[in-house]
């Protein structure tokens, strides 16, 4: 059996779908469905069993689980604005550590979600301690466990891989609220208000020109499955496209993608601004000093590990995202 924690969440549910495409359905889905609306992310996939995260944690610590082939640990508090450090460190760091120790003892491959938040403001996004300076407790919770793995690399009993996700977007993120991707928020805004809003200039960047490494969730799934297929590799790896694109690119791709489905022609950035379809708002004061204005994954380590597949750019990924949402009647 393969365990996927956070299985009803965004990346977790897409990972379950990716396993299903391989013919794998002997999957234990671990999550917290207190927010019952998340069930929709599991309704279209095939799993063997569901378990609440607290029950699963208890079975891990009591060593009462059997016949586990691999663990994809995607479950975490992903709200980068959460200030409750006790909650964050227990939920993100301590649970990961407990699961890691169990997998090592049982010699189970362990692939877990880290985050580009460990790099803080950058500017160097290479998997090395001198580049890491988290800006919030979420980033710190991910950073701290990455350090545990680094200390244990020479004595691992089973493969362990940490994937530092950059800005992931795609289907099944509708439950994430303000933490959903900018692509999702742009879609909702445009469908309901016929315009989208982006941050205005700040930190040396013009209106809508702050850049992120936006990575499509299907590419993230492919990277996870690559490491399942290559158990000889362990370590911490960036999981992004290696390409920084401005928020303007996302907004343009969203608007023009939806316009295409409505039988309308594509518009350039200046036309979208002139027609008040893209609007810029003042950069929020509470984010100044705690915001990544530019991220770009260095993929050298990932490529050296043997991963060769190309990554979708924003235009390609957003187009596929829109097509999927429309076909599922979710937008």
List active site positions: 138, 176
- Gap between the Cα atoms of 298 and 132, Å rounded: 13
Query: Maximum distance among all alpha carbons in the chain?
Result: 62
Rg (CA), the chain: 20
- Gap between the Cα atoms of 58 and 52, Å rounded: 10
SS3 158: coil
Backbone torsions φ then ψ of 159, nearest 5 degrees? -65, 140
Q: Which residues pair with 3 in a beta bridge?
A: 28, 71
**What DSSP element (H or E) covers 151?**
helix 137-152
Antiparallel, parallel or unpaired: β 196-199 and 211-212: unpaired
- Gap between the Cα atoms of 224 and 161, Å rounded: 9
């Amino acid at each position: 059996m393969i365990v996927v924690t956070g299985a009803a969440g965004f990346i977790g549910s897409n990972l379950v779908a990716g396993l299903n495409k391989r013919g794998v359905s002997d999957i234990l889905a671990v999550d917290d469905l207190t927010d019952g609306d998340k069930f929709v992310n599991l309704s279209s996939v095939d799993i063997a069993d569901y378990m609440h995260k607290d029950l699963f944690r208890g079975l891990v610590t009591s060593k009462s689980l059997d016949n586990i082939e691999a663990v994809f640990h995607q479950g975490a508090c992903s709200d980068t604005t959460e200030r409750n450090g006790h909650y964050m460190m227990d939920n993100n760091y301590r649970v990961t550590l407990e699961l890691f120790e169990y997998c090592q003892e049982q010699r189970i491959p362990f692939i877990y979600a880290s985050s580009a938040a460990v790099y803080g403001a950058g500017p160097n996004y290479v998997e090395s301690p001198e580049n890491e300076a988290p800006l919030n407790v979420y980033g710190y919770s991910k950073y701290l466990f990455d350090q545990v793995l680094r200390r244990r690399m020479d004595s691992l009993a089973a493969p362990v891989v940490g994937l530092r996700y950059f800005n992931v977007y795609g289907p099944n993120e509708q439950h994430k609220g303000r933490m959903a991707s900018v692509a999702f928020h742009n879609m909702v805004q445009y469908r309901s208000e016929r315009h989208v809003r982006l941050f205005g200039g700040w930190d040396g960047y013009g209106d809508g020109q702050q850049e992120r490494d936006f990575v499509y969730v299907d590419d993230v799934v492919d990277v996870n499955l690559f490491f399942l297929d290559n158990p000889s590799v362990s370590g911490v790896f960036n999981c992004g496209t290696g390409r920084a694109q401005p928020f303007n690119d996302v907004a343009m791709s969203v608007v023009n993608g939806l316009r295409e489905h409505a039988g309308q022609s594509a518009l350039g950035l200046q036309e979208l601004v002139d027609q008040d379809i893209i609007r810029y708002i003042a950069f929020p004061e509470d984010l100044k000093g705690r915001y990544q204005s530019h991220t770009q994954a260095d993929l050298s380590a990932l490529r050296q590990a043997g991963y060769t597949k190309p990554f979708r750019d924003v235009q390609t990924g957003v187009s596929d995202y829109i097509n999927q949402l429309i076909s599922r009647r979710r937008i």
